[in-house]
């Protein structure tokens, strides 16, 4: 019998389990930039739960949530400092603005960590923290 399921990498499966156990807002981005999961704490920030949105391709979540710079300009995913850092195998930290599903803008600090499995780069684990003024 043929295999029909496109299995997620074990690194993403285990990271999702971790996120489910955390009160810290966190999400998972896969190799293609798809938002494959976010936890309940992110759902509170974003004003919409993962159960409601499901996985979102880059264009869709960028259009919905941002991110935006301090001048309110949308930051393209491929040019985002965190995307560049993670694709380079580094962790990154950045303060930016997001827009919730109900249209409220808010500032948040974001940490992104590359997930590298035994077969290579699988995506990124992203955490959100309250932004502190410098």
By the criterion CB under 8 A, which residues form the site for another protein?
1-14, 16-18, 20-21, 116-119
Q: Which is nearer to another protein, 18 or 84 (CB)?
A: 18
CA 43 to chain CA mean position, Å? 12
| Rounded Cα gap, residues 91 and 104, in angstroms | 28
Minimum separation from the CB atom of position 87 to another protein (A) = 18
Minimum separation from the CB atom of position 38 to another protein (A) = 14
Minimum separation from the CB atom of position 30 to another protein (A) = 11
Minimum separation from the CB atom of position 4 to another protein (A) = 6
Q: Which is nearer to another protein, 71 or 118 (CB)?
A: 118
Q: Which residues, including other chains, have CB under 8 Å from residue 84's CB and lie 6 or more apart?
A: 92
Q: Which is nearer to another protein, 54 or 76 (CB)?
A: 54
DSSP-assigned letters across all residues of 52-92 = HH-SB-HHHHHHHH--B-TTS-B--GGG-HHHHHHHTT--E
Q: Which is nearer to another protein, 59 or 116 (CB)?
A: 116
> Minimal CA–CA distance to 100: which of 32, 44, 37?
44
């Amino acid at each position: 019998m043929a295999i029909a399921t496109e299995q997620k990498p074990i690194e993403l499966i285990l990271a999702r389990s971790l996120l489910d156990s955390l009160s810290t807002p966190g999400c998972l981005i896969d190799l293609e930039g798809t938002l494959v999961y976010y936890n309940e704490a992110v759902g509170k920030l974003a004003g919409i739960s993962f159960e409601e949105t499901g996985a979102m391709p880059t264009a869709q979540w960028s259009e919905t949530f941002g991110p935006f710079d301090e001048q309110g300009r949308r930051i393209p995913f491929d040019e985002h400092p965190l995307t560049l850092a993670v694709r380079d195998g580094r962790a990154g930290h950045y303060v930016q603005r997001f827009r919730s599903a109900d249209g409220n803008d808010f500032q948040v600090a974001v940490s992104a960590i590359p997930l590298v499995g035994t077969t290579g780069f699988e995506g990124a684990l992203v955490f959100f923290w309250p932004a502190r003024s410098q």
